């Protein structure tokens, strides 16, 4: 069976753009002072991750809360929705492969996919999508993450990525960039 793995955030949705543009007006709902809230929002929007040794901190919990809101608010790419529906119509098995913590966001993620008319067969958390695809014998991965673009060829996995500003400085080793999901159709069997 033809199988493809597809990422969600910043591939099928505008997740980072949603974090950047959304006004989060009520710091009190996060149990933080306005000052700490402002600092944490700036850190999150700047891509700062929690560098501590603890598995959970006030900042990591804050990030989870903001991410959860943005998962719901993010919009699906219309060309991505059309492509996913094309995959379904052409007999593909579709694996949604994400870095989201699905222990906390599984149902909300499934609801977002349903609300946006995005068909799928499986939904998995995969921290290393290349290992995941290799284990599942998935030949094709649609994902924006630079790690996958840099190392996909070592796993013999065809990577397709939505061209974004973060890809401007990346030294191309693997993958094919696209502006519209429809371009992928020429690179995979119909």
Mean pLDDT, the chain cut into blocks of 10 residues (190 residues total): 96 96 82 90 89 79 90 96 98 95 89 97 95 96 89 90 76 80 94
Whether the Cβ atoms of residue 122 and residue 149 lie closer than 8 Å to each other: no
pLDDT value, residue 161: 92
Together in a domain, 62 and 131: no
CATH number of the structural domain spanning residue 109: 3.40.50.1000
Is 111 in a helix, a strand, or coil? helix
Whether the Cβ atoms of residue 24 and residue 17 lie closer than 8 Å to each other: no
**How far is CA 173 from its chain centroid?**
21
| Residue 59 CB neighbour total at 10 angstroms | 20
Query: Could you identify the residue written with the tokens 């061209």?
Result: 163
Together in a domain, 112 and 172: yes
Together in a domain, 118 and 138: yes
Cα gap 66→44, rounded to integer Å: 9
Cα gap 190→174, rounded to integer Å: 22
Total number of domains constituting the chain: 2
pLDDT value, residue 57: 87
Q: Is the dihedral of CA 97, 178, 184, 149 positive or negative?
A: negative
Together in a domain, 50 and 67: yes
Together in a domain, 83 and 157: yes
Together in a domain, 178 and 100: yes
What pLDDT, in 10s, does the model give residues 36-80? 999 999 999 998 887 777 678 889 889 888 999 999 999 999 999
pLDDT value, residue 164: 82
Picking from 23, 43, 73, the residue at the C-terminal end of a domain is: 73
- Phi–psi pair at 140, nearest 5 degrees: -120, 135
Picking from 48, 73, 98, the residue at the C-terminal end of a domain is: 73
Instruction: Give the domain range for residue 55.
Output: 15-73
Q: Which two tokens stand for residue 167?
A: 């890809």
* Residue 142 β-bridge partners: 6, 160
pLDDT value, residue 146: 81
Residue 134: C-alpha distances to residues 5, 92, 94, 128, 188 (Å): 11, 17, 15, 10, 17
Strand 176-178 vs strand 158-162: parallel, antiparallel, or unpaired? parallel
Together in a domain, 96 and 157: yes
Together in a domain, 24 and 45: yes
pLDDT value, residue 172: 63
Query: Among 60, 68, 138, which Cα is nearest to 97's?
Result: 138
Together in a domain, 50 and 135: no
């Amino acid at each position: 069976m033809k199988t493809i793995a597809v990422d969600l955030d910043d591939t099928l949705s505008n997740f980072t753009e949603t974090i950047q543009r959304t006004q989060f007006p009520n710091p009190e709902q996060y149990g933080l002072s306005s000052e700490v809230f402002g600092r944490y929002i700036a850190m999150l929007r700047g891509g700062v991750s929690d560098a501590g040794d603890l598995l959970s901190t006030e900042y990591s919990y804050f990030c989870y809360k903001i991410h959860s809101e943005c998962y719901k608010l993010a919009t699906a790419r219309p060309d991505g929705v059309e492509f996913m529906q094309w995959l379904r119509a052409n007999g593909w098995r579709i694996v949604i492969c994400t870095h989201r913590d699905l222990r906390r966001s599984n149902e909300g993620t499934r609801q977002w996919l349903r609300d946006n008319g995005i068909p799928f067969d499986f939904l998995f958390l995969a921290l290393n999508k290349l290992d995941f695809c290799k284990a599942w014998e998935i030949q094709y991965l649609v994902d924006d993450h630079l790690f996958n673009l840099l190392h996909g060829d070592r796993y013999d996995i065809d990577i397709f990525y939505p061209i974004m500003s973060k890809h401007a400085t990346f030294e191309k080793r693997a993958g094919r960039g696209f502006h519209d999901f429809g371009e992928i159709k020429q690179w995979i069997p119909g």
